[in-house]
């Protein structure tokens, strides 16, 4: 193993520093521009040995709030002042968009809250440790007392859980395959949702005693909460699985989004920082309301990757005169069940709509959704972006799809997909938003209008 040495040229959108040595590029986490880094490459991983910082007191550096920063694989930017995190994350894409659409102003929504904002964290349990996986080491867990980006209430739950886990010693042990609890997921809705991922066959008296004590501690400390267990096999590393059971509280979590109240199954997706997305959607709706060729027409709204229906219900409520029907498609069965309920609960004059139709569908496989003329399509795919089948389906329905609102948690992938769509659609609105400060993630939202 050769020791290498180089200077950080710049910080990339993933918040890692770029070092070039003899035409080879190395990405180093947790550094600043001009840092001198001595490192080795061990099994394709970069292991820094020494970092000499020139910018310690510069305008870029800040002392990380979290004591686990640099070890825990969660955050990547706590050592960079927020203004710079945002520039590093978005600058390259912003410049690309400016070249492509020189007449379009890129709007942005920055977070008001830089810490304690996330409404969901999935913590790994290993023996008596509860935490997140170590950066670059999937098998190692950083034991965490408090997570600086999840809500304070969730941190209270984490503390209660950790104390009892130690007392009962029922954490799963990945070396010996002994133990029961593999993960704890904490979700901060209008009430707290706690989901324990367990090895079902191992449920025993010790576990029941643990649950009783956990419940009584939670009741002492929280006003409203629900507790669930869900099941995992010995080998699986999936948390918050779909096979679940309510131990205490409601079957669903109750989230707010703007003026909507939405039911979400414990395993179903909901925006991790809805406050920022609410502002992004409000700005987008305001822009649409000023587009004569939108507000003077009526559309069938089709929401792909709809989750519990938040975007279709939201846009219907903003444009009740312009939307004739709502359909939504999504993989998680229980999310679809609640999407229907949410539409019923939140749409007062449903009879004005031709139909509301939410359906389970795997959008990664070839599919055919029949479309009416004048479709307003909403897309909000997972990080992998749009599958080939979704793109092919759009291309075979160009005549019918008039507007596309594409919300993305992978803006770089979205930009590549736009290369295909821009031949047929004008990009009329670009909005960058940051629901994920301290991390390298962010969201972008674009509006496309049929040429």
Ligand X SMILES: C[S@@+](CC[C@H](N)C(=O)[O-])C[C@H]1O[C@@H](n2cnc3c(N)ncnc32)[C@H](O)[C@@H]1O
SS3 at position 351: helix
Shortest reach from residue 47's CB to ligand X, in Å: 34
Q: Bridge-partner residues for 50, per DSSP? A: 38
Residue placing its CB nearer to ligand X in the complex, 172 or 270 = 270
DSSP strand pairing (355-360 vs 323-330): parallel
Residues 375-394 binding ligand X (CB under 6 A) are 380-382
Contact call for residue 270 and ligand X (CB under 6 A): yes
- Give per-residue burial for 233-244: e unless 16+ CB within 10 Å, then b: eeeeeebbbeeb
Judged by CB under 6 A, the stretch of 103-111, 146-154, 355-363, 412-420 that binds ligand X is 355-363
What does the per-residue mask of binding to ligand X show for 53-92, with x meaning CB under 6 A? Answer: ----------------------------------------
Shortest reach from residue 307's CB to ligand X, in Å: 3
Shortest reach from residue 201's CB to ligand X, in Å: 28
Contact call for residue 185 and ligand X (CB under 6 A): no
Task: Classify residue 114 by burial, with Cβ atoms within 10 Å: 0-12, 13-18, 19+.
Answer: middle
Considering only 9, 52, 243, 362, the residue that binds ligand X (CB under 6 A) is 362
Kindly state the tokens that stand for 115.
Answer: 């810490």
Rounded CA gap, 143 and 72, in Å?
9
Task: Classify residue 107 by burial, with Cβ atoms within 10 Å: 0-12, 13-18, 19+.
Answer: middle
Of the candidates 229, 226, 147, 142, the one whose C-alpha atom is nearest the C-alpha of residue 183 is 229
Contact call for residue 121 and ligand X (CB under 6 A): no
Shortest reach from residue 407's CB to ligand X, in Å: 7
Rounded CA gap, 243 and 103, in Å?
50
Residues 280-319 binding ligand X (CB under 6 A) are 305-307, 310-311
Contact call for residue 335 and ligand X (CB under 6 A): yes
SS3 at position 239: coil
Size of the site for ligand X (CB under 6 A): 20
Rounded CA gap, 442 and 428, in Å?
20
Shortest reach from residue 206's CB to ligand X, in Å: 34
Backbone angles phi, psi at 122, to 5 degrees: -110, 110
Residue placing its CB nearer to ligand X in the complex, 240 or 271 = 271
Residue placing its CB nearer to ligand X in the complex, 168 or 315 = 315
Q: What is the CA radius of gyration of the chain?
A: 24
Contact call for residue 336 and ligand X (CB under 6 A): no
Shortest reach from residue 443's CB to ligand X, in Å: 9
Interface residues with ligand X (CB under 6 A) are: 269-271, 305-307, 310-311, 330-332, 335, 361-364, 380-382, 409
């Amino acid at each position: 193993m050769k020791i290498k040495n180089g200077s950080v040229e710049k910080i990339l959108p993933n918040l890692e520093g770029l070092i070039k040595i003899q035409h080879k590029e190395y990405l180093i986490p947790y550094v600043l521009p001009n840092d001198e880094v001595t490192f080795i490459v061990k099994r394709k991983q970069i292991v820094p040995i020494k970092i000499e910082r020139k910018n310690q007191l510069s305008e870029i550096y800040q002392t990380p709030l979290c004591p686990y920063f640099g070890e825990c694989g969660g955050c990547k930017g706590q050592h960079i002042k927020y203004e710079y995190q945002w520039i590093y994350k978005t600058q390259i894409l912003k410049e690309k968009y400016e070249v492509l659409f020189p007449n379009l102003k890129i709007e942005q929504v920055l977070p008001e809250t830089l810490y304690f904002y996330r409404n969901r964290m999935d913590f790994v349990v290993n023996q008596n440790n509860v935490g997140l996986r170590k950066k670059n080491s999937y098998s190692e867990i950083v034991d965490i007392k408090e997570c600086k980006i999840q809500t304070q209430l969730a941190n209270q739950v984490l503390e209660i859980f950790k104390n009892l886990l130690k007392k009962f010693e029922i954490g799963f042990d990945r070396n010996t395959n002994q133990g029961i609890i593999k993960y704890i997921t904490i979700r901060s809705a209008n009430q707290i949702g706690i989901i324990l991922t367990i090895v079902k066959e191992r449920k025993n008296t010790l576990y029941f005693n643990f649950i009783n004590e956990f419940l009584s501690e939670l009741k002492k400390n929280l006003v409203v909460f629900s507790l669930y267990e869900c099941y995992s096999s010995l080998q699986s590393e999936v948390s918050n699985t779909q096979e679940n059971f309510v131990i205490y509280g409601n079957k669903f979590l109750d989230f707010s989004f703007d003026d909507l109240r939405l039911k979400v199954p414990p395993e179903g997706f909901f925006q991790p920082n809805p406050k920022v997305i609410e502002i992004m959607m409000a700005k987008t709706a305001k822009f649409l309301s000023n587009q004569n060729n939108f507000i003077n027409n009526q559309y069938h709204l089709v929401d792909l990757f709809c989750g519990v229906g938040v975007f279709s219900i939201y846009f219907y409520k903003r444009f009740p005169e312009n939307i004739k029907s709502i359909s939504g498609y999504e993989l998680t069965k229980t999310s679809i069940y609640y999407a229907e309920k949410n539409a019923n609960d939140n749409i007062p004059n449903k009879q004005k709509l031709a139909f509301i139709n939410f359906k389970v569908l795997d959008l990664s496989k070839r599919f055919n959704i029949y479309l009416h003329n004048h479709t307003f399509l909403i897309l909000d795919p997972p990080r992998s972006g749009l599958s080939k089948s979704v793109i092919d389906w759009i291309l075979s329905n160009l005549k019918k799809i008039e507007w596309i609102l594409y919300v993305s948690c992978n803006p770089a992938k979205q930009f590549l997909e736009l290369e295909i769509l821009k031949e047929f659609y004008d990009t009329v609105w670009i909005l960058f938003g940051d629901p994920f400060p301290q991390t390298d993630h962010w969201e972008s939202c674009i509006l496309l209008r049929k040429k």
